[in-house]
Amino acid sequence: MTWLYRLGVVVAALMTLSISSWAMDRLSLNVEIDSYLFSYGFWVSSIPVSLLLISLIALTGRACVSLLVSLAFLAALYAINTQKTVHLASTLNVFDFYLLKGIDWSSVSLFAHYINWTWILLACVALVLAVGLLLRLEKPVLPRNLLLRICMLACAIGVADQVLVGDTGRHIYDADRLRVSSPSPFLTQFHAGLIGSLFYAGNDMNAALNEPIDRQAVKGLLARLDIHDRFVPDAREGQQPDVVVIQSESFFDPGILNQVSDTHQLLPTLHRAFEHGVGGSMTVPTFGGGTLRTEFEVLTGIPLAAYPHVQFPYLQISRLTIPGLARDFEQAGYETVAVHGNGGEFWNRRHTFKSLGFSKFITAKTFGPQSYKDGLYLSDHSMTDEIIGQLERGGRPQFVFAISIEAHGPYRGVQVKDEALRSSIPAPAGVSATACEEFSHYGYHIAAADREFGRLWDYLEHRRRPYILVFYGDHLPGLEVVYQETTFRNGKPAEMQQVPWVVVGSGLDGANRQEIYAWMLPHEILKLAQVNGSEYLDVAFAAGRLALSGGDDADGHLLDDLYSAARLNLSGEFEDADGAHSNAP
């Protein structure tokens, strides 16, 4: 075997891998298989896969074995990308790898429900058999020269270090060269390829929190909003209200679908709450998943748009103290409690909740012996039992923030506790049997959420103690088939829909519905509970209300100015900026 022949085999393997990788990339996007083939995005995406192949050849000495293992790895990567686009309407990004930092059994078991283990097992067996066969049949392309192989591997690693990261990497994986489209991850991958977009984001991710702060813009924002008459709580006689906030998993009102005529029977408590309380529709920063994104905005009042490179705030934002809702209630003398029917390490909640000011975190491990699953996850009924048990403790007024999980997907092929009830849920008009099954599973779980909302409301109403009860959805569910066969009344796609929010409680009367951002909700909660919060939350609410009203005629940069204020608030500097504004002549 001549060296020229060996080189030809390696080059052929490199080209095969690069073209196959690009073809799988196109398939994961469901676009033409040769779109942007041999473009700039193709070539820079080929660099890391080529270095992977060269490293494997150095280790094994065999081209075909190395090619097969590389193809298997890439196939798994693109399969994950496909699943994410189906369920979350977003492509895989470098921030998803932050999940590995907080991986535990609760996160593994949740994501495992989206995996077809039979196919995974068959694929692994086939790969092992194929590799074993090739190891016996294929002749090595490299001689058994250990020094040569070590040098080849060292060169591949050295090139990777020089080319893929640092200043050179930022130059190669440049946004303009790759034609990155920040608002559209699909368009970014279409131009740059999944691998190219991952390396672009990876070279930029270390600066996720290093967003610019325009202090002059913040001063201008404060002057424009002119919040001098801040909300001051009334002098209360008697008890402060207990405040319970329910973040309901994947909850939305299917009545916003054209094919669903009415949801008063499915969600009676929600409709009753809108009649007797304060509420409306809410814009959230995620779709189909990513609960902690909405959760972070509600608990802090900080728009995640202020940090466009932060995908998982609890994993990427590390602070000893994070200002927000729980800390404001704590300073007002409340006991602050979080409740969640999953593991406390999932999304790094246990650590972050301490930073946010929660004094107690009740997780699945500490749920009572009567708790049970309905479908794949702990039921909303069990969560409500835990909330009631916590409130029964008495003592100081309580702020309870509860995160449900029962209605988490997937929504097909899962046995629920009451199959007869599930099958009786009316399907959207004119949909297929598959969509009907998917909708009935989802409808079953949100009906349970609505029912438990009503049970908790009734409990609080008859308790003879003032209360505030907040209920909202964290995002729309990842209904794969239903969205394909239905349309929304406002004509927008699923990922642009809003979720409901509503507040009921002592002394609250029905009010006109309000449209808000998720980061405006903490101000509303504090106001209704008559608890004085931070001035930043007042500013955020006023800015959000002005932005939603279309009244920002001054410079068109209202939200950009608010984002600078939010960055100051997270870093603990907002009060200084506000003090400078207040003392200005």
pLDDT above 70 for 228: no
pLDDT computed for residue 144 by the predictor: 77
pLDDT computed for residue 18 by the predictor: 96
pLDDT above 80 for 90: no
Q: Report domain extents, the chain.
A: 3-207, 241-530
Mean pLDDT, rounded, for 422-451: 97
pLDDT computed for residue 6 by the predictor: 80
pLDDT computed for residue 203 by the predictor: 73
Confidence category of residue 101, pLDDT binned at 50, 70, 90: low
pLDDT computed for residue 510 by the predictor: 73
pLDDT higher at 113 or 147? 147
pLDDT computed for residue 98 by the predictor: 62
Q: How far apart are the C-alpha atoms of 495 and 491, rounded to whole Å?
A: 12
Question: Cα separations (Å) of 555 from 220, 484, 542, 546, 560?
Answer: 11, 40, 16, 13, 10
Strands 360-362 and 335-340, bridge-based pairing? parallel
Tokens for 395, please give them: 């003592």
pLDDT computed for residue 584 by the predictor: 41
- Mean confidence (pLDDT) of the chain: 89
Name the nearest CA neighbour of 498 among 279, 326, 300, 336: 279
pLDDT above 70 for 533: yes
- Three-state DSSP at 216 gives helix
pLDDT computed for residue 307 by the predictor: 93
Q: With the C-alpha atoms ordered 536, 539, 541, 543, is the resulting torsion angle positive or negative?
A: negative
Name the nearest CA neighbour of 298 among 97, 545, 546, 471: 471
Confidence category of residue 419, pLDDT binned at 50, 70, 90: very high
Confidence category of residue 476, pLDDT binned at 50, 70, 90: very high
Name the nearest CA neighbour of 470 among 484, 462, 460: 460
pLDDT computed for residue 370 by the predictor: 94
- The residue type found at 257 is L
pLDDT computed for residue 540 by the predictor: 96
pLDDT in tens, 121-176: 898 899 899 988 988 888 888 877 788 889 999 999 999 988 887 788 888 998 88
Query: Per mean pLDDT, which range of 23-27, 201-205, 234-238 is the poorest?
Result: 234-238
Mean pLDDT, rounded, for 236-258: 92
Given a contact cutoff of 8 angstroms between Cβ atoms, the answer to whether 437 and 426 are in contact is: no
pLDDT above 90 for 22: yes
pLDDT computed for residue 295 by the predictor: 98
pLDDT in tens, 543-565: 999 999 885 554 568 999 999 99
pLDDT computed for residue 579 by the predictor: 54
pLDDT above 50 for 231: yes
Query: Per mean pLDDT, which range of 321-330, 439-448, 464-473, 506-515 is the poorest?
Result: 506-515
- C-alpha of 329 from chain center: 26
Phi first, then psi, for residue 338 (nearest 5°) are: -110, 145
Confidence category of residue 45, pLDDT binned at 50, 70, 90: very high
pLDDT higher at 9 or 102? 9
Mean pLDDT, rounded, for 350-375: 95
Count of beta carbons in the 10 Å neighbourhood of residue 69: 20
pLDDT above 70 for 182: no
Mean pLDDT, rounded, for 366-370: 93
**Residues in CB range of 276: below 8 A, 6 or more apart:** 504, 508, 509, 510
Mean pLDDT, rounded, for 350-359: 95
pLDDT computed for residue 270 by the predictor: 98
pLDDT computed for residue 200 by the predictor: 85
pLDDT above 60 for 516: yes
What SS3 string covers 351-418? HHHHHHCCCEEECHHHCCCCCCEECCEECHHHHHHHHHHHHCCCCCCEEEEEECCCCCCCCCCCCCCC
pLDDT computed for residue 157 by the predictor: 92
Confidence category of residue 100, pLDDT binned at 50, 70, 90: low
CATH top class, domain 241-530? alpha beta
Strands 499-505 and 467-473, bridge-based pairing? antiparallel
Confidence category of residue 582, pLDDT binned at 50, 70, 90: very low
Confidence category of residue 305, pLDDT binned at 50, 70, 90: very high
Q: How far apart are the C-alpha atoms of 187 and 196, rounded to whole Å?
A: 12
pLDDT in tens, 481-504: 999 999 999 999 999 999 999 999
pLDDT in tens, 288-298: 988 999 999 99
- C-alpha of 368 from chain center: 29
Q: How far apart are the C-alpha atoms of 373 and 406, rounded to whole Å?
A: 8
In the numeric block, the tokens 């975190």 are attached to: 361
Given a contact cutoff of 8 angstroms between Cβ atoms, the answer to whether 410 and 114 are in contact is: yes
